[in-house]
Amino acid sequence: MAATRLMPLHSGKDRTVAEVPGQVTDYVKNPEKTIGGDLVTAYQCNPSIADQEFLFSKRKGTERQ
């Protein structure tokens, strides 16, 4: 079983809201840790552009409010 830890990552600290998802997905898709990307999967999104899809969903959600 995989052990995970949730860490809140926020904008600020020299990061913009648009940069945070990209930094996080780059970290978790690290080829050295994922057997060259073989362990990277996604559900209802494309792993290669997941950060862009997350940001799009976030923007879309704030427009509704």
Q: Where are the domains of the chain?
A: 19-64
Arithmetic mean of pLDDT, 7-28: 81
- What is the pTM (predicted TM-score) of this model? 0.64
3-state secondary structure of 51: helix
Give me 29's structure tokens: 């898709």
Is the pLDDT reported for residue 1 higher than 60?
Answer: no
Q: How far is CA 43 from CA 15, 47, 53, in A?
A: 27, 9, 12
Nearest in space to 11 (alpha carbons), one of 23, 2, 20: 20
Q: How far apart, in Å, are the Cα atoms of 28 and each of 60, 61, 62? A: 24, 24, 26
The answer to whether 29 touches 40, Cβ cutoff 8 Å, is yes
pLDDT of 22 > 70? The answer is yes
Percent residues over pLDDT 70 in the chain: 83
